[in-house]
Amino acid sequence: MIRPLPSHGLLDRVLRVLFPGVLFLLLNGCTSVSYYSQLADGQLQLLRAREPVAKVVADPQRDPQLRAHLAQSQKARAFATEHLHLPDNPSYRLYADIKRPYVVWNVFATPEFSLKPQNHCFPIAGCVAYRGYYSQSAARGEAALQRLNGMDVSIGGVEAYSTLGWFNDPIISSMMSWGDERLATLIFHELAHQRFYVKDDTEFNESYATFVEQEGTRQWRASRGLAPDSGTQIQQRDQFIQLILDTRSQLERLYAQPLPAEQMRQRKAATFEQLRADYRKIRDSQWAGDKRYDAWINAPLNNARLLPFGLYDQWVPAFSALFKQVGGDWAKFYPAVEKLGGLPVGERKAVLRALAGSESSGG
């Protein structure tokens, strides 16, 4: 197994030799070598692009706005280790300019009348509901092939991702359009994944990291004497996600019916139109016309575009309850999360449901 080394330069030299071979040995042989080759090459290019944040900040020839943004990020990075008990390593103390808007493009695919995704399994991350490509053209090529096979397909650009502690992850130039606080939340979220990760349980992993992100951001704001976030954007996001989840439930009921294909397509299209109508009603009556989700809702809709929703926060109330049980002590919280993650899947979900129930009831 390759483990992170203190010098990212030395790590790069080692990985140039070892990483492609290790990748091909570990991953199953059901997918083409070309796909795994682009994964290895893309990751290596990202690693080679890294440089210490301190070097960028100290260089007067670099963009002043970039230097200021990175300098602020390092305050959040120090807070993550010193106050949130997150890993103390070179991750997010490095910077990589990738000269493109996204680091990777994910391709999601489902059957025309199903919300079951095409899963792809990897030895480190486990099974996920997408395939990632470091080239937008390669992602579009894969999407075109899936459409020819009659699948619903969606492509989503990703500005950042975590290697779960295998490598020292950098702050990426694709993240530089974010504000200081959003960048801080990303650092908290991804370092939480490095601290603990359960293979093949996306809902657990993302809900846990999202809780760390949210509670960490609350504490980060308090440490700087800032008032708590008003929660308006979070409330709007939650309402929007609930609309998507309700639509998914409606589609699942629809797809369970023994209808002719053409009638199924008509009802499917009507369900998506109802989603748009419900969204506009909430936007105009409750959000004062805030159009932050208009671009998403007005783009072509299909099953695949609904897949990512709900994965990141399903069990956040459960982790909130667990945090309260340990008295808000991070040093006790992570072992409790690890114990929970070590349970068999059925038992784990039962405990999560009980925790979430106690949180909603105020117990």
pLDDT in tens, 296-349: 999 999 999 998 887 777 899 999 999 999 999 999 999 999 999 999 999 999
Q: What token pair was written down for 329? A: 């002590």
Q: Which pLDDT value is given to residue 31? A: 52
- The answer to whether residue 301 sits within a structural domain is no
Is 345 a domain residue? no
First to last CA, the chain: 44
d(CA 340, CA 351): 8
163 contacts: CB under 8 Å, gap ≥ 6:
43, 124, 169
**Which residue range is the domain that position 41 belongs to?**
8-202
Q: Is residue 86 part of a domain?
A: yes
Residue 197 lies in a domain: yes
354 pLDDT above the threshold of 80: yes
9 has pLDDT over 90: no
Beta strands in the chain (DSSP E): 50-52, 94-96, 104-110, 120-122, 126-128, 131-133, 152-158, 171-172
Ramachandran assignment for 201, one of left (phi > 0), alpha (psi -120 to 50 degrees), beta (any other): beta
Provide the number of structural domains found in the chain. 1
pLDDT tens sequence across 46-88: 999 999 999 999 999 999 999 999 999 999 999 999 999 999 9
249 belongs to a structural domain: no
Convert the pLDDT of each residue in 234-257 to its tens digit. 789 889 989 999 999 999 999 999
Does residue 329 sit within a domain? Answer: no
* pLDDT of res. 15: 43
Identify whether 298 is part of a domain: no
- Whether 161 shows a pLDDT value over 90: the answer reads no
pTM value? 0.83
In a domain, 122, yes or no: yes
